[in-house]
Structure 1
Amino acid sequence: MKNFLISLVFLLGVFSCNNSNNLSDVSYGKKTEHPGKVLMEKNCNVCHSPSASHDSRLAPPMIAVKKHYINSETSKQEFIAAMKAWVENPNKQDAKMFGAVRRFGVMPKANYSEKTIEQIADYIYDHDIDQPEWFQEHFENRKGKDRMN
C-alpha cells in the first residue's frame, strides 16, 4: 500500500509537470513600443518636449512639426523624406515653420542615422503625438494659420 501511494504521488507529479500551458503564451500586458516612439522621446523631446510651457520652450513641440508637415494629401513616404531632408540639413531656406525659426532659430544639425530618422518619422506619421495642454488653442488661433502645406 505504501508503494502504491508513493507511485501515485510520483505519477501525479510527472503528469502535472507536463502541463500544456506554455509560459511563453502568457501575456504580461506589456506592449512593445514602436521603436520610433522610444527614439523620439530619447532624441527629440529634449528640445521638442510635449510638457514644456509655451514660454520656456527650446523648440516647437513635435505635434507642431507633425501639423506643419502633414496634410490630407501627404503620404507617409513624402513625410519621411521631408523629415530626413530637414534633420540632415536644417536651414532657413527650406523651413516650413517660419514662426518657429523666428522664435528659436534654425534647429542645429543632428547626426542621426537614416534609419533612426525613418523610425521617428514613421511613428509620428501613424500615431497620436503627445502635446502640451496649451497647444491646440495656440495652433488654432495663431500658428496653424500662418502657413500650412
Structure 2
Amino acid sequence: MKSRLLTILVLAIAFGSCNNKTTSNIAKNDSASEFNIQDNEGLQLMTQKCYACHSVTSKSHDDIIAPPMIAIKKRYSMQYSNREDFINALVAYASDPKEENALMMGAINKFNAMPKQNFKKEDLTKIATYIYDNEIETPKWFDTHFKQNHKNGKGMGNLNNTEKKT
C-alpha cells in the first residue's frame, strides 16, 4: 500500500512538473515571438533607412560613403557594454549627429559627421536594439580592413573621445 501511494505521489509530481514546463515554454515562445517581431522591424528599418549610406555591398573601404554598421556596432560596444547605454548612445547620436558627440573619429575624418536625418526616435531605438542584439551583416572586405587598421581599437576613436584629427 505504501509503495502504491509513493508511486502515485511521484507520478503526480512528475505530471505536475510537465504541465508547468509546458506553460513556461508557451510563455517563452510568446516572448520569443514578440522578440522576433521587434527584431524583424529593426532589421527592416535598418535596411530601409541605414544601408543606403552604411552599405554592406561595397567592394572595399575606399568605395564607402559611411562606415558599415558592423563598424558602428564594434565601436559603440567598446564604449557601451551595457545594452541600455549602447542603445541610448546610438539613438542620441543618430538623432542629433554632431562631430563633438561622435565616437568614431576615423569615420568623422573620412566622411564628416552624419547628416541630420528626420528619423523617429522609436525607429532609431528599434534599429539600435537590433544592432545590439544581433549579428550584423559584414562587408566581405571588413574583417581584413579591421585587422590591418584597427588593432586594439586604433583609428576608431579612443574611449575618452579625445582623439585628435589629423
What band does the TM-score fall into relative to the shorter chain? Answer: 0.7 to 0.9
Map of 2:137 onto structure 1: 130
Distance 1:103 1:73, change over 3 A: closer
Deviations 1:28-87 (A, max 9, x none): xxx866210000000000000111122111101000000000139611110111011101
Question: What is residue 116 of structure 1 aligned with on the other side?
Answer: 123
Q: Which has the higher helix share?
A: 2
Contact 1:68 1:148 in 2 (8 A): no
- The runs of 4+ residues in structure 1 deviating greater than 3 Å are none
Identity fraction in percent = 39
Gaps of 5+ in 1: 1-30
Return the index of the structure with the highest Cα Rg: 1
2:45 alignment partner, one of 32, 39, 42: 39
Whole-Å Cα distance in 2 between the matches of residues 83 and 110 of structure 1? 14
1:111 positional shift: 1.1
Q: How many residue pairs were aligned?
A: 119
1:145 to 127, 137, 154: 154
What is the alpha-carbon root mean square deviation over aligned residues? Answer: 1.8
Which of structures 1 and 2 has the larger relative contact order (alpha carbons within 8 angstroms, sep 6+)? 1
> CA separation in 2, counterparts of 1:112 and 1:73?
22
Moved more, 48-57 or 113-122: 48-57
1:135–1:117 distance in 2 versus 1, CA, 3 Å = same
Which residue of 2 is the match for residue 107 of structure 1? 114
Q: Which residue in the other structure is 1:74 paired with?
A: 81
Distance, in Å, in 2 between the alignment partners of 1:122 and 1:109 is 20
Which amino acid letter does the alignment assign opposite residue 126 of structure 2?
A: Q
- Unaligned residue ranges in structure 2 (runs of 5+): 1-35, 160-166
Cα deviation, 1:82-132, whole Å, max 9, x if unaligned, reads: 011101111111111111111111100111111100100010001010111
Which of 87, 91, 97 is matched with 1:90 structurally? Answer: 97
CA distance in 1, matches of 2:72, 2:131: 9
Mapped to 2, the partners of 1:101 and 1:36 lie a distance apart of 25
The TM-score normalised by the length of structure 2 is 0.66
- 1:48 aligns to 2:47 (yes or no): no
Tell me the secondary structure at the aligned position of residue 62 of structure 2.
coil
TM-score, length-normalised on structure 1? 0.73
- For the residue of structure 2 that corresponds to 1:52, the secondary structure is coil
